[in-house]
Structure 1
Amino acid sequence: MSLYRNLAWFLKGMTEFTRNAFLSASKRFVEKDLEVSLAGRSFMITGANSGIGKATAMAIARRGGTIHMVCRNKDKAEEARAELVKETGNKEIYVHILDLSETKKVWEFAEAFKRKYKTLNVLINNAGSIMSQRDVNAEGLEKGFATNSTYITASFLLVQITVSSGGMLVQKLRIGNLQSERGRYDGTMVYAQHKRQQVVMTEQLAKIHPSIHFSVMHPGWVNTPAVANAMPDFHRSMKDSLRTPEQGADTVVWLAVSEAAAAKPSGRFYQDRRMVGTHLPLAWTHSSPLEEQKLISALDDLAKMFQPH
């Protein structure tokens, strides 16, 4: 079955995830969807100093939105901020240094942010981590899991968007092995599992928090530093077919700013501004409602362990 999934995924990718696929899909895009002023609205973007995150920040900053860049590396973040200000003329761009794999510090950051800033309209979970080998953080959580799958839902948040990956299509939710403690550790497949978890989380959180509009999306195959570093063979062989960061960010921006996206149901999975399915045909990757509820319960339990009191 894994061989079938991988083959079906690759064939789907060649027809839907490439640069040419984006150019074809973009012919049906409605230009006025992104003709908006975002003055007075605030956006938090994790991993905003490069790739899709930076392209998203650039697009939102051009429209006057306030940007909160959450990044791990201060020098790279400040360099990206300076470029964003120079290119857009928007000075309402703020840098926050945070390692998202450090769960307790994420909670502390969220609490401090709420005290300092009274509003946050949109949270874009863009940062992701593909680990070459299993490693744990100070709290004993697998670092990739801590970065990709744990979550915080702020009470004042209106929209939450998660950047997922088409790799999740080859994975079934593994409730009994959320942190990849058992079996051989394959960083790419573990990452795909985390992305499956994100899709399930989005569906469930939409039911639990109806006042927040949740979306999860696949940017396609994008030429980013993260892809080049984590999957060098794939990057080398597919480089000419990969999307630009701006093309990868298009649906993120559309979900974050357009009225058309806001009118869509919460909790759905998107690709090229369109709701799409979350499973390959005959791949047997569906999970039961009980398994999906167990995922949220497990994540809630972890959140309570590290939440400041």
Structure 2
Amino acid sequence: MGQSISSTQFFLYGKKHFTQTGYLRHIQDYKDPVQKAAAIPLHHADADGTDLTEKVVVVTGANSGLGKEIATYAAAKGAKVYMLCRSQERAVAAKEDMIQHIATYDSSPSSSSSSSSLSSLRDRLHIVLVDVAELQQVRQAVQQLQKQESKVDALVCNAGVLLNERKETSEGNEATFASHLLGGSYLLSQLLLPQLKAAQGRCIFVTSGGMYNFKLPSWNVLTSAPGEKYNGVNVYAYAKRAQVLLAERLKETEPKVQWVTVHPGWSDTPAVDEAFGDQKKYLHPLREPWQGAEGVTWLVGTKRENIQSGEFYLDRKTQPKHLAGPFFTEGRYTKNSKSDVDELMKNLKKAAGLE
């Protein structure tokens, strides 16, 4: 009964809030300006007023979809951006595309200031090759970052996969769990804690409304251990619920850093195409990638006092974390106990090799 209620209400709530229609309605309530594109630079007439000059922003999965939009925005606002990507070829192509899109908003493309701006953009956009599902690669990427930066103002944990068939990493972890949670959220953020603390920065876990369907399951189910029945969509949703719980706990244990989860809504990205195929029609009207990313970029650039650490966001506003009760109330079906979260943190620490 609880599963039926949570799934039904998730879909109905999503059709109202997660679609493009929901986004267009939500931005009418924004108190601060909103941009129409990620690439609008700092001093453009249509900019939202955010200035990220001197800031360091790290974005995983930055070569496509939401990650590319987030990285483009941060670069356009003057930040030094580290693009954590799996493919050198795709990362280089994305970087050049980002630069060209930002350049199109320059009022004088042929001017010397424009050339200087393009050169500055190239200098501020850095590619770091890493598959965040591979723990050793995460460690190596962090070592590379730490050699170059003493602080990180914003870490956006966006990368991950949603697979229809079980796949293991070279280290024996199920790939969806490892990319979204173990490597791409937990280990990466824990290794970068010195830099995040130095900046009194923020860590943003890009999660999914799919987490509304479930509470955190047992460790074996969460990790899709051998012998467990595999359902790729469920495994993805479990990892996303775990991100929400992770942010809540890290708010308490690492208060110098702000920890939030954010839902980009139902956005038209390559990842959605790959995961859902023809079934994505049920999520229409899908948001454009920038419409999904905009609420994430607000969390990157807004003032510290505007963020409530430990909370779950959509379109610049905190959201309920549970919808399993009657008439969209919280209910109890998707809630976990403190001991459940204690166990999660203990197991993540062990699995990440941080004991």
TM-score normalized by the length of structure 1 = 0.94
Contact 2:63/2:83 (8 A) holds in 1: yes
Counterpart Cα distance in 2 of 1:122 and 1:156: 10
Counterpart Cα distance in 2 of 1:41 and 1:204: 26
Contact 1:39/1:63 (8 A) holds in 2: yes
Corresponding residue pairs, total = 304
Which of 110, 119, 130 in structure 1 is aligned with 2:151?
119
Counterpart Cα distance in 2 of 1:42 and 1:303: 25
Which of 63, 80, 89 in structure 1 is aligned with 2:77?
63
Counterpart Cα distance in 2 of 1:111 and 1:176: 29
1:106 paired to 2:99:
no
Q: Letter of the aligned partner of 2:349 in structure 1?
A: D
CA shift, 1:256, in A, is: 0.6
CA shift, 1:185, in A, is: 0.7
Residues 157-198 of structure 1, C-alpha deviation per residue, up to 9 Å, x if partnerless? 111001000000001101332202253211011101110011
CA shift, 1:57, in A, is: 1.3
1:31 maps to what in 2?
32
Residues 172-230 of structure 1, C-alpha deviation per residue, up to 9 Å, x if partnerless? 10133220225321101110111001111111111110111111011110000000111
2:268 maps to what in 1?
223
1:42-53 equivalences under 5 Å are 42-53=56-67
Q: Letter of the aligned partner of 1:249 in structure 2?
A: A
2:205 maps to what in 1?
162
TM-score normalized by the length of structure 2 = 0.82
Counterpart Cα distance in 2 of 1:262 and 1:53: 25
1:298 paired to 2:347:
yes
1:184 paired to 2:229:
yes
Q: Letter of the aligned partner of 1:218 in structure 2?
A: H
Contact 2:219/2:344 (8 A) holds in 1: no
Q: Letter of the aligned partner of 2:209 in structure 1?
A: G
Counterpart Cα distance in 2 of 1:238 and 1:263: 30
SS in 2 for 1:31: coil
SS in 1 for 2:156: strand
Change beyond 3 A, Cα 1:112–1:58:
closer
1:97 paired to 2:136:
no
CA shift, 1:269, in A, is: 0.4
Counterpart Cα distance in 2 of 1:170 and 1:238: 16
CA shift, 1:137, in A, is: 1.6
SS in 2 for 1:267: coil
CA shift, 1:237, in A, is: 4.4
Counterpart Cα distance in 1 of 2:99 and 2:175: 32
Counterpart Cα distance in 2 of 1:264 and 1:74: 34
Q: Letter of the aligned partner of 1:156 in structure 2?
A: Q
Structure 2, unaligned runs of 5 or more:
35-47, 103-117, 326-330
1:243 maps to what in 2?
287
2:319 maps to what in 1?
276
Contact 1:213/1:267 (8 A) holds in 2: yes
Q: What's the % identity of the aligned pairs? A: 31
Change beyond 3 A, Cα 1:237–1:263:
closer
Counterpart Cα distance in 1 of 2:238 and 2:29: 32
Change beyond 3 A, Cα 1:4–1:183:
farther
Counterpart Cα distance in 1 of 2:282 and 2:219: 35
Deviates more, 1:217-226 or 1:280-289: 280-289
Structure 1, unaligned runs of 5 or more:
none
CA shift, 1:97, in A, is: 1.2
1:254 paired to 2:288:
no
Contact 2:15/2:283 (8 A) holds in 1: no
CA shift, 1:262, in A, is: 4.0
CA shift, 1:236, in A, is: 3.6
1:286 paired to 2:335:
yes
1:141 paired to 2:173:
yes
